[in-house]
Chain A
């Protein structure tokens, strides 16, 4: 049996990442009971820290919006009273609030909306993680050093003054011997304070090391290899300090694996490996040979969802294997068109590309029409009516999006089940994707300026259709 083994380079991303790479903000677009809402959560850089939450309610008659953080292992029973989100001045339908995320792991924010139509709740899962170590700005370091020197030398002078004069009988002047003793006292104070500073620096260094080694989350780096026409992903162990629970299927798949050709993203595959003996295997489709970024999206029993990273060298001569029915590939050169023809001759148009700006919340809107000009009918594909993968060409941003946002549906379901039990019929918690949409939209904010490639995937007449757009985000 022919066996191809490719050495896999491991790619290490130093920058902060979460369930999506380089794109930690969480977006949710859905319903809280009778109220259509959009939620954006900006997690803190370090935990414990404050998350910024904004809730846009797209209807009138709302009287109250409250938000509540719940850790996965305690749920709402282990949560404090909800915080009321305050209306944002000048925005009729926007509410904002800050919430403390106190420990690392899977949290969920319960968004309660009350108004004329009653009360509704939406669950928005969020990973609580320390994502980056903040460097001290130079000016701040200089200021602290200056203040520290003032305290240091004023303490030495104070000790010197105390030794020199504090014991003097009332009215008696300072003689030479006392001045000398004062100087000696000041010198001893300098020595002791220097020792304490040295100990303090060692303590600070130890805290910093502990933060970087144990508390700072970096995307787990897996190893990937090509064996017998399959790609094999070995599970990394580094994530276990953040979540030790087992993996659960997301949209029926234990892992959603994405291969993106380095540099231009020309070759792309969305695969679904099977787990055997702790490793993950997926049949490899025919892709252009070259070096690929490998992104593996997984979700845990806790609701924690994140992305594993690796790189793989796809060799020449890979024969197209029998793929999973939900696998899809795309090979597309860079192009600037905003209206594309899909393999089934339907046409997809990206409606709002020119309005994009880095770090600005937006909605990516696409419309799809059949070849005869009629509006396309979508079928569920992996539990959703559309998927989008957004990738920055340096590999530092990777996001798997759905019309309901960046959240993991399985995570949302797990939180809902823990709160309400396994049955969700007649439940006010909205966790299903709803009726087929007329058009496709994804809530998002590009986290950095740069060149991005966007793959939009839908299922029509049983076939997965993939459209590829390129865009420069200023």
Chain B
């Protein structure tokens, strides 16, 4: 609604200077971020009746990833990306004028990127349990998703530590849920209940993304941000490789810590209270899953993840480069 108001105001009541930083779309004027947010909102609205019909046809989809939920997530992404573009345009205009408000806009931009990273982690929840963190599919999804986001953050922000700051926001947001949610009493309201739960169930402890993000920022600074297409491909490959090495090395061992160490069963890591009420008891909770041997992270899988992370980082750099130019 706010973005709709911004568009109406810019179209009919704005000064020439205000309209000069707007994008013309379907005959109306408004900041690009406002348009993207409006599109995202409409997509979310359309997903609601679709999801309702889906429940009637196939039953309640008690899962994160289903076609109507994906449409909803697309709309949510639209809203978040729209907000991100609004502060991004502010950052870039302020930077080009050397204004102090550039720093505030940059901080807001990095926070918005942290929110996007947190949203991505929610979508990947079903593949992100510590038990799944020795699988091919986990590293493939994370290699594509987070390599892209962190390279984009490093390139698009005016901060020297863009990727690290965005990753820190992500960890703070998800970590906040891990630390706060279990403090609230709750009880399951649907049968069958296989696990007694008397508190709100937190998400899994966030990935230690600040470490690969730090590597990306350092390498990006060392290699430089400017250059032609092939130069950026080399940088993208380096960032993707850095992400791959650090992320796999960290999460491979950190997941084992979360699963098997007594030191993880406390308020901070919450590893002992991550299972929902419908999780059946069994040894599977303490094992690394392999999809019956079909989802193993072996050398072939590692090479695939490495290549995908490199390509994703290159795309992230390209997208980030364009985002540095957004002024409207």
Chain A interfacial positions (CB closer than 8 Å to B): 44-49, 68-71, 73-74, 77-81, 100, 102-103, 107, 130, 133-136, 140, 144, 147-148, 150-151, 154-155, 157-158, 161-162, 165-171, 200, 203-204, 207-208, 211, 215
- The answer to whether A48 and B191 touch across the interface, beta carbons within 8 angstroms, is no
Q: A74-B193, A161-B32, A167-B328 are in contact. List 9 more A-B contacts (CB 8 A).
A: A78-B192, A80-B188, A80-B193, A100-B190, A134-B53, A151-B39, A154-B26, A158-B25, A215-B58
Whether A170 pairs with B46 at a CB distance below 8 angstroms is no
What residues of chain B lie closer than 8 Å to A78, measured between beta carbons?
191-194
B55, A158: Cβ atoms closer than 8 Å: no
B57 within 8 A of A: yes
Q: Which residues of B contact A154 (CB under 8 A)?
A: 26, 39, 42
Q: Which of A102, A200, A211 is in CB contact (< 8 Å) with B67?
A: A200
Interface size in chain B (residues, C-beta < 8 A): 43
Chain B residues within 8 Å of A200, by CB: 67, 70
* Bitwise interface map of B from 172 to 191 toward A, beta carbon under 8 Å scored 1, else 0: 00000000000000011111
Contact B43 A151 (CB under 8 A): yes
B residues within 8 Å of A by Cβ? 20-21, 23-26, 32, 35-36, 39, 42-43, 46, 49-50, 53, 55-60, 62, 66-67, 70, 85, 89, 93, 187-194, 278, 322, 325-328
Main SS class of interface, A: mixed
Nearest CB of A to B92, in Å: 9
Instruction: Let me know if B328 and A48 touch, CB within 8 A.
Output: no
Taken together as a complex, chains A and B put the C-alpha atoms of A107 and B57 apart, in Å, by 21
Residues on A with C-beta less than 8 A from B49 are: 140, 144
In whole angstroms, what is the CA distance A161 to B56 when docked?
38
* 6 shortest interchain CB distances as A-B pairs: A71-B192, A46-B59, A48-B60, A167-B325, A134-B57, A74-B192
* Chain B residues with CB under 8 A of A155: 39
Check A161–B25 contact: CB distance below 8 A. Answer: yes
Cβ–Cβ contact A49 & B191, under 8 A: no
B36 nearest in chain A by CB position: A158
The answer on a CB contact under 8 Å between B326 and A170 is no
Beyond A74-B193, A102-B191, A207-B66, whether A165 also contacts B58 by CB under 8 A is no
Closest to A79 in B: B191
Question: Are the CB atoms of A161 and B326 closer together than 8 Å?
Answer: no
Q: Are B35 and A81 in contact (CB under 8 A)?
A: no
**Cβ of A204: which chain B residues have Cβ within 8 Å of it?**
67
Verify B26–A157 contact, CB threshold 8 A: yes
What are 30 residue pairs bridging A and B, where the CB atoms are less than 8 Å apart in the complex?
Answer: A48-B59, A49-B55, A49-B60, A71-B191, A71-B192, A74-B193, A80-B188, A80-B193, A102-B62, A102-B192, A102-B278, A130-B59, A136-B53, A144-B50, A154-B39, A155-B39, A158-B35, A158-B39, A161-B23, A161-B32, A161-B35, A165-B32, A165-B328, A166-B32, A166-B85, A166-B89, A168-B327, A170-B328, A207-B67, A208-B58
Contact A151 B46 (CB under 8 A): yes
Checking B20, B53, B59 against A44 with a beta-carbon cut-off of 8 angstroms, the contacting residue is B59
B18 to chain A, nearest CB (A): 10
- When distances are taken between beta carbons in the complex, the residues of chain B under 8 Å from A80 are 187-191, 193
Chain B residue with the shortest CB-CB distance to A212: B58
A211's partner among B58, B60, B327 (CB-CB below 8 A) is: B58
In the complex the two chains form, is B192's CB within 8 Å of A166's CB?
Answer: no
Question: Of all chain B residues, which has the CB nearest A76?
Answer: B191
Residue pair B59, A170 in contact (C-beta under 8 Å)? no
With a cutoff of 8 Å between Cβ atoms, the chain B residues found around residue A81 in the complex are: 187, 189
Shortest beta-carbon distance from B260 to chain A in Å: 28
* Minimal Cβ-Cβ distance residue in A for B66: A207
